[in-house]
Structure 1
Amino acid sequence: MTPGERGGADERAWAHPDDLEPIRDALIEWYEADHREFPWRRTDDPYAILVSEVMSQQTQLGRVEDAWEEFLERWPTTADLAAADRADVVGFWTGHSLGYNNRAKYLHESARQVEEEYDGEFPQTPEGLQELMGVGPYTANAVASFAFNNGNAVVDTNVKRVTYRAFDVPDDDAAFEEAANDLMPAGRSRVWNNSIMELGGVVCTQAPRCDDAGCPWREWCDAYATGDFTAPDVPTQPSFEGSRRQFRGRVIGTLREYDELEIDALGHRIRVDYAPDGEYGREWLEGLLRDLERDGLVELERGDENEGPIARLRR
């Protein structure tokens, strides 16, 4: 993969791997094997999903769960919500600290629209769902995906962080939109959007948990290879120039070119001031290589007493 130029979009916003199928399969298999069991993931009722999406816009998912269940117990259908007194709906919203009261008003109005303008049936496309009061592109895609398996890619903060780190997607809304839709397999928006959002929610967090959470994209991830886990919502790391993560990237890039190298030959290729017995010599480089070996990126074959180890990429 040739990384894109971070910080701005060009005609093609990102340079993706030639074969996306293994990437897609790895993520979906990881998600289906184990994921957080939120109750709205066990329904395809568009009303219940809309309520969960609106509630979660400003509230942690753990707190949303109880409020969502209480809300649906009180107003189980769009007909029930449309018939409710708006003051009661707003009072519920305030009482559960669910953010701006306007969202409760919009939800109430959208229920009235479904009943009066759509004969009680939700639109099934992102474009149709955006006709409902207060439903923007993100929420429309989410409801179309999770209720009807008929959405485009959902692009939230988690998805931006994942695609920025994994595939060097530029920090640009159009670039994120393009990358997310390119990655999503046709006809699988329900499982795909759940999967990539879960990846950002539990693994590729602001402080990433690549190994201990078993990230399925380590094989392809640019950040994992270089050690640079900066992201749009993560504070900029210390200067990259001269940093340990810069030399991790140089080691990976050099071994991709040469397949394997004796440690001193590798050292001279990754920094001009390399000296076997110097400050940045064998001891420093072996420490760097041991880190990469623990991360599963490099293999070290121990040499004899007159030669340093041989380093090669793990295949």
Structure 2
Amino acid sequence: MTDPDAGSTSGPSADGDATAATDGDATTSVTGGDAPELPADLDAVRDALVGWYEADHRDFPWRRTADPYEILVSEVMSQQTQLDRVVPAWEDFLDEWPTAAALAAADRGDVVAFWSGHSLGYNNRAKYLHEAAGQVETEYDGAFPESPAELQALMGVGPYTANAVASFAFNNGDAVVDTNVKRVLHRAFAVPDDDSAFERVASRVMPDGESRVWNNAIMELGGVACGTTPRCDEEGCPWREWCHAYRTGDFTAPDVPTQPSFEGSRRQFRGRVVRVLGEYDALPLDDLGPRIRVDYAPDGEHGREWLRGLVDDLAEDGLVAVDGDAAEHDGPVVSLRR
């Protein structure tokens, strides 16, 4: 599941005839160049998608809760991480810290070590999630804010994540616009590859007051039936009778940015540093190095200078502490910041 943290904007609601002339510029643009294949009977389009979703969908555990804390954890974990890896991590995380209050009271180093140990990507997300839990407790008396705008006041919560939490916890969000949704709208209604056009069309198609089921449904459509390789008939896509791509056979879609390889990346080695330091109180740089990569040599290509760069990055992020200087026999001593 991708998380562009590019928020969607509210648009005029649709109530039937999408081709009728209106006085609103946004509505007029949606019926013209924004979506030349948008059907007139939007109620039928909506009912078909919601019915398809409610009949059968992937049963992720966070879809069975309306708890904003649990949903926030799932959204942060799902950023550029495969969902099959998120499920066990999410369950383990909530076993360890079942509420925002429990997370706020936790040691940040323990939270970061958990994050790294479950290979959840950038450790800053763990730090921000911990700080956001603290904000909920100290600034909001333990009650999550409910609107996308208010949720963005939480540390590390951008427009996309705020809208997802508002949608799935409070049924109070705007239309979600992620990579999957863009692909669906581009193929189904010939929406041009333009962020503002996607946002306007997504807002128009979503039924009023139904952000929880709608955003789940349209993301499910993009993830299951309308992926990079479409599975229209195999997955019984509910929009086949209206879909421009299905009718024309042209299943091109907007460019999808590729995630850099994790194996051998700085992200991977940063995670290893945090994970190793979670097992030790402190380590000199040259003792840490061989535990990070087997070919570590102080004067080698991946030696003290290379490792010091990783450690300094983590120190700037507030995740580790460095005591001493590089001139010491085994290098400075590195510890996880508690």
Q: 1:14 maps to which residue?
A: 35
Q: 1:185 maps to which residue?
A: 207
CA contact (8 A) 1:157 1:233 kept: no
CA contact (8 A) 1:55 1:98 kept: yes
* 1:190-201 equivalence runs, <5 A: 190-201=212-223
Q: 1:176 maps to which residue?
A: 198
**Distance (whole Å) between structure 2 residues aligned to residue 173 and residue 58 of structure 1:** 20
Shift of 1:14: 2.6
Task: In structure 1, give the amino acid aligned to 2:83.
Answer: L
- Aligned residues, how many? 228
Task: In structure 1, give the amino acid aligned to 2:59.
Answer: E
Q: 1:132 maps to which residue?
A: 154
Q: 2:295 maps to which residue?
A: none
**4+ residue runs over 4 A deviation:** none
SS at match of 2:128: helix
CA contact (8 A) 2:179 2:256 kept: no
Shift of 1:19: 1.8
Does structure 1 residue 148 correspond to structure 2 residue 175? no
CA contact (8 A) 1:79 1:111 kept: yes
Does structure 1 residue 30 correspond to structure 2 residue 52? yes
Does structure 1 residue 161 correspond to structure 2 residue 177? no
**Distance (whole Å) between structure 2 residues aligned to residue 56 and residue 198 of structure 1:** 14
> Relative to structure 1, is the Cα distance of residues 104 and 234 closer, same or farther in structure 2, using a 3 angstrom cutoff?
closer
* 1:1-315 equivalence runs, <5 A: 11-12=29-30, 13-15=34-36, 16-233=38-255
Q: Flag the structure with more relative contact order, 1 or 2, with Cα contacts below 8 A and sequence separation at least 6.
A: 2
Task: In structure 1, give the amino acid aligned to 2:54.
Answer: E
> Relative to structure 1, is the Cα distance of residues 105 and 234 closer, same or farther in structure 2, using a 3 angstrom cutoff?
closer
Deviation sequence 1:138-175 (CA, Å, 0-9, x none): 10110001000000011111000000000001101111
**Distance (whole Å) between structure 1 residues aligned to residue 255 and residue 229 of structure 2:** 11
Q: Which runs of 5+ in 2 are unaligned?
A: 1-17, 20-27, 258-338
**Distance (whole Å) between structure 1 residues aligned to residue 126 and residue 256 of structure 2:** 31
Q: Percent identity?
A: 75
**Distance (whole Å) between structure 2 residues aligned to residue 221 and residue 234 of structure 1:** 20
Deviation sequence 1:250-287 (CA, Å, 0-9, x none): xxxxxxxxxxxxxxxxxxxxxxxxxxxxxxxxxxxxxx
> What TM-score, normalized to structure 2?
0.66
Query: What root-mean-square deviation, in Å, do the aligned CA atoms of Structure 1 and Structure 2 show?
Result: 1.6
Task: In structure 1, give the amino acid aligned to 2:246.
Answer: Y
CA contact (8 A) 1:40 1:48 kept: yes
Task: In structure 2, give the amino acid aligned to 1:215.
Answer: C
